[in-house]
């Protein structure tokens, strides 16, 4: 069934792709020099806050260039929380949002986003409804 194993090798290239490049050219990914991957510092502290539910757009997290990540949990039993990640400072709405968090759901930022996070709940809210937020910050 099997023949001899063949080890495939490829030259790593950091130049821009050419129109006639074959499909299997290996290039490093990332945003650093030559496409190197970015190293994200491991967080060593966390700042925990709770923001009361609101039917109007409200700031959940201010911009923070030192942030390495965050999580948000919607504690509402009935209200959907609409989150907007918008460096321009827009308002969250049913038609302008990044992600919808259904009751009891949880969101974790995937891209080391350091800008403003706003949100609003779109349905009836109860006095105990809130967003539980944990912001992760590396200590230099």
Domain-embedded: residue 54? yes
Contact 78, 42 (CB under 8 A): no
For position 6, what pLDDT does the model report? Answer: 55
C-alpha atoms less than 13 angstroms from C-alpha of 42 in its C-beta half-sphere:
1
Domain-embedded: residue 86? yes
Q: Tally Cβ neighbours within 10 Å of residue 11.
A: 6
What range defines the domain where residue 105 resides?
45-137
Domain-embedded: residue 26? no
Contact 124, 78 (CB under 8 A): yes
Domain-embedded: residue 118? yes
For position 140, what pLDDT does the model report? Answer: 67
For position 138, what pLDDT does the model report? Answer: 81
Domain-embedded: residue 84? yes
Structure tokens given for 122: 């779109």
Q: Tens of pLDDT along 50-80? A: 999 999 999 999 999 888 889 999 999 999 9
CATH of the domain at 120: 2.60.120.770
Q: What's the average pLDDT block by block, 10 residues per block, for the chain (140 residues)?
A: 56 61 53 54 80 94 90 94 86 92 91 90 89 87
- Count of the separate structural domains present in the chain: 1
Domain-embedded: residue 24? no
For position 123, what pLDDT does the model report? Answer: 84
Domain-embedded: residue 39? no
Domain-embedded: residue 100? yes
Largest CA distance in the chain: 69
d(CA 7, CA 115): 45
Q: Report CA-CA distances (Å) from 107 to 34, 35, 57, 77.
A: 32, 28, 18, 16
């Amino acid at each position: 069934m099997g023949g001899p194993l063949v080890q495939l090798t490829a030259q790593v290239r950091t130049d821009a792709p050419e129109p006639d490049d074959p499909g299997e050219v290996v290039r490093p990914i990332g945003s650093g020099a030559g496409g190197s991957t970015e190293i994200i510092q491991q967080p060593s502290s966390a700042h925990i806050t709770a923001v009361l539910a609101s039917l109007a757009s409200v700031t959940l997290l201010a911009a923070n260039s030192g942030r390495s990540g965050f999580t948000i949990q919607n504690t509402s039993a009935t209200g959907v929380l609409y989150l907007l990640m918008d460096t321009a400072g827009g308002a969250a709405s049913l038609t302008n949002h990044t992600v919808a968090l259904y009751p009891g759901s949880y969101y974790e930022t995937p891209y080391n986003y350091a800008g403003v996070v706003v949100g609003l709940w779109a349905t009836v809210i109860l006095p105990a409804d809130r967003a539980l937020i944990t912001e992760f910050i590396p200590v230099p």
